[in-house]
Structure 1
Amino acid sequence: MWTVPNIITLFRVILIPVFVFVYFLDWQWAKQAGAFIFWLAAITDWIDGYLARKLQQSTPFGAFLDPVADKLIVAAALLMITHSYQSLWITIPAIILMVREVYISALREWMGQIGMSEQVKVSFIGKAKTMAQMLALIGLLSELETFMGIPIYWVTLGHGLLYIAAILSLWSMVVYSAAAGKYLKSPATAKN
């Protein structure tokens, strides 16, 4: 259980309350520090997956904890940006992203129970959604439009990427649902 990738994943879980606490501090750079912590957590997600493959340290505990850690920190970030911006234009894509995460998690769990998890494994669309979502959240959390007087438009870019992530979320939801569709309709797989 205590492999290097699993320790990194646990570190990501520990970062969640730190991220939330720092983000809401009454300090000039709190938002940017919170965005940095979120970025650090996003990078550790890539690192733990890479190390698990490279060191051949994949474990059932890691396979369980890694997606949970990802969903927890993303859910926290989505709630935080909806609170900070208090805008319908942020809330709508944030809700789409949250709904998609719950739906796909439930679908994958069910497909795993019937031995068909391979049908709903992570696809390119899902990976593209995750990349757009992470970059959007970093930009929106940072609340930066300029840095040292230089226009960088992080927030503007974050808005655009949030909508791209929401569109990719809906698209991937349709793709995964279609892949699972025949199993959802089959009486042989129904429990009730």
Structure 2
Amino acid sequence: MNLPNIITLSRIFMIPVMIFCYYYWPADNAHYIAAWVFMIASFTDFFDGYLARKLNQSTPLGAFLDPVADKLSVIIALSLLIEHYSTILLTIPAIVIIGREVVISALREWMAELGQSAEVAVSYIGKVKTFLQMSSITMVMGFAEDHWMGILGMIGLYAAAILTVWSMVQYLRAAWPQLTAK
């Protein structure tokens, strides 16, 4: 166990804290506190990878846990928002993002079995999408839908959904020869 792995695990442990804050924080600013927890967890996503590379402490456990922590935190945060707002305007980009995560996870696993995981490695667009999606979720979670930050977050969520589809098309295009092989 090294520092980058501990940071990644802390991101997973922040998920129940975010849920608790979102539903049970005993104040009017519960969603704001939950958004801060999500934002801190999101920040650790960039920090743990940086440290793993900088300290030469990349491990198989970290390589496995990092995408799991990302997907769990994003999917659970989006689920909280879908339940809270109960509107098609939020549900559409959330479903696009969640659906893409499932498709790309399955694609990466399958390509790894074929020894072709480099074909579907994380791209620059994927990194931009992740940043936009995490910052947008933070804004939507922390601010009401009629607050300018909440509105900006919704716009960002739609932009993240567009990048999500774009990156998924790129990954599928890269894997297409293997997907259509006889």
Does the alignment reach a TM-score above 0.5?
yes
TM-score (norm 2): 0.96
Amino acid corresponding to residue 15 of structure 2 in structure 1: I
Q: What is the deviation of 1:139?
A: 0.5
Q: Match for residue 160 of structure 1?
A: 155
Amino acid corresponding to residue 87 of structure 2 in structure 1: S
Larger Rg: 1
Unpaired stretches in structure 1, ≥5 consecutive residues: 147-151, 188-192
Amino acid corresponding to residue 140 of structure 1 in structure 2: V
Q: Match for residue 81 of structure 1?
A: 81
2:46 pairs with 1:51? no
Q: What are the Cα deviations for residues 4-33 of structure 1, in whole angstroms up to 9, with x where unaligned?
A: 000011111110001100111242111110
2:10 pairs with 1:15? no
Q: In 2, Cα distance between the equivalents of 1:48 and 1:132?
A: 18
Q: Match for residue 28 of structure 2?
A: 28
Q: What are the Cα deviations for residues 44-93 of structure 1, in whole angstroms up to 9, with x where unaligned?
A: 11110000000000000100001001100101100011111111000011
Q: Equivalent residues in 2 for 1:115-130 (5 A)?
A: 115-130=115-130
Q: In 1, Cα distance between the equivalents of 2:66 and 2:168?
A: 20
Amino acid corresponding to residue 159 of structure 2 in structure 1: I
Q: What is the deviation of 1:131?
A: 1.2
2:4 pairs with 1:5? yes
Unpaired stretches in structure 2, ≥5 consecutive residues: none
Q: What is the deviation of 1:145?
A: 7.3
Q: In 2, Cα distance between the equivalents of 1:24 and 1:143?
A: 15
| Equivalenced residues, count | 181
2:83 pairs with 1:111? no
Q: What is the deviation of 1:42?
A: 0.4
Runs of 4+ in 1 over 3 A off after TM superposition: none
Q: In 2, Cα distance between the equivalents of 1:160 and 1:131?
A: 14
TM-score (norm 1): 0.91
Could you tell me the percent identity over the aligned residues? 50
Q: Match for residue 190 of structure 1?
A: none
Greater share of helix: 2
